[in-house]
Structure 1
């Protein structure tokens, strides 16, 4: 009988080799198994954590790429942005005029009747000055110095309402002294006299900004126009 037939064969399973590196008694195997199980569990937890971190990073990158793609696609579909360049053509008060609160004022250095003064103001595309607020009254009183100046109130008869040059009725927010028909400013405030006497006068007209082109949006003032070219006669 062939001697090989009596040889006993043993399993060569790789799992058996990885689990059991050498033969030990039952008492020696129990601590080893517990140690191996603990080490294996710790390694599994670390691998699982690393796997979740990698998955989270990949998901984040995917979301970022998708968002960027949609952003670029939306801008392309909207077309090119309007140009931000703008030009401002600003007209200041004319020479010899004084600016205050969006209006220009002219204080004459010659005298004339009330009607003559109004005609002179009209030739400047202006009118004899109205006085709408206490602040405007203070401004006019400071700039007129000591001379009396006609302004834009007149009435036809004593007792009739005072009217401005645009025919609007004066609301009597300040007192006009005396019983004349044309109003003027002296050192004490507003007074009145005959319209054919001669005095200096005050013309006024609004200060305009023309030829303005600006970017879209509602900027509150000129300083917010970052890319503007300003042309002015200041």
Structure 2
């Protein structure tokens, strides 16, 4: 502890209990006493007068700064951890159907809607668009097998269409890679009992919509051809 020349401690409380002998000693010298350091010997306190703050007092001040610095560091670390936790991708729900809207079927990162309401190809695509989807895009043989198995015996439109003299394309304009054969001479493709066929686009039949499931939609890029 040390006392300032104004008769108060460092925290500005009055030094009422400062020993009288030490007060006289501190003021008996011709020079002023900028500070007084109290030291304890046995049961008594004694003061030391000096011109410069002792190293011990400086050490005490430095020691007080350590908890403050640690508190700042901890606060920064907690903020970083919270920010990373917010940005971390959420785990996909289980079962996989929970990642799809009610009435949709989940399979391999996509949600499928099988409609028995009949319409032509254009109206079917419009219905899918209103559901934030498109007529079904087939990215693999596994996708094709799943839809053929699940749709039953009814015929359903899918997303393939071609203009006269042009190749088959998906709803997003991606050119079909001939992964499977499309039978018939029509301009719009549909699924029948055993594969993919084509007919005139104004024919009436059911349709299949597809879109990425909720987990896939959170990724930087969603499945090709589906609306996000």
TMscore range, shorter length: 0.5 to 0.7
Task: Return the alpha-carbon distance in structure 1 between the equivalents of residues 149 and 181 of structure 2.
Answer: 18
Task: Return the alpha-carbon distance in structure 2 between the equivalents of residues 199 and 114 of structure 1.
Answer: 8
Following superposition, the deviation at residue 191 of structure 1 comes to 0.3
Greater per-residue helix proportion: 1
Tell me which residue corresponds to 1:98.
105
Task: Return the alpha-carbon distance in structure 2 between the equivalents of residues 190 and 166 of structure 1.
Answer: 19
- Seen in structure 2, the aligned counterparts of structure 1 residues 209 and 134 have a Cα distance that, compared at 3 Å, is closer
Ranked by relative contact order (alpha carbons within 8 Å, sequence separation 6 or more), the top structure is 1
**What are the Cα deviations for residues 61-89 of structure 1, in whole angstroms up to 9, with x where unaligned?**
xxxxxxxxxxxx9xx59535536896859
Show structure 1 runs of 4+ deviating over 2 A: 76-92
Following superposition, the deviation at residue 109 of structure 1 comes to 1.7
1:131 aligns with 2:126: no
Equivalences for residues 150-161 of structure 1 within 5 A = 150-157=157-164, 159-161=165-167
1:146 aligns with 2:141: no
Following superposition, the deviation at residue 156 of structure 1 comes to 1.0
1:167 aligns with 2:162: no
1:204 aligns with 2:210: yes
Tell me which residue corresponds to 2:74.
79
**What are the Cα deviations for residues 26-74 of structure 1, in whole angstroms up to 9, with x where unaligned?**
xxxxxxxxxxxxxxxxxxxxxxxxxxxxxxxxxxxxxxxxxxxxxxx9x
Work out whether residues 157 and 190 of structure 2, in 8 Å CA contact, stay in contact via their aligned partners in 1. yes
- The root-mean-square deviation of aligned C-alpha atoms, in Å, is 2.9
Match of 1:187 among 181, 193, 201: 193
Larger radius of gyration: 1
Equivalences for residues 16-35 of structure 1 within 5 A = none
> How many positions carry a matched residue from both structures?
138
Q: What secondary structure does 1:150 align onto?
A: strand
Task: Return the alpha-carbon distance in structure 2 between the equivalents of residues 142 and 188 of structure 1.
Answer: 9
Task: Return the alpha-carbon distance in structure 2 between the equivalents of residues 209 and 151 of structure 1.
Answer: 23
Following superposition, the deviation at residue 209 of structure 1 comes to 4.0
Structure 1 stretches lacking a partner, 5+ long: 1-72, 213-234
Structure 2 stretches lacking a partner, 5+ long: 1-66, 219-228
Following superposition, the deviation at residue 92 of structure 1 comes to 2.3
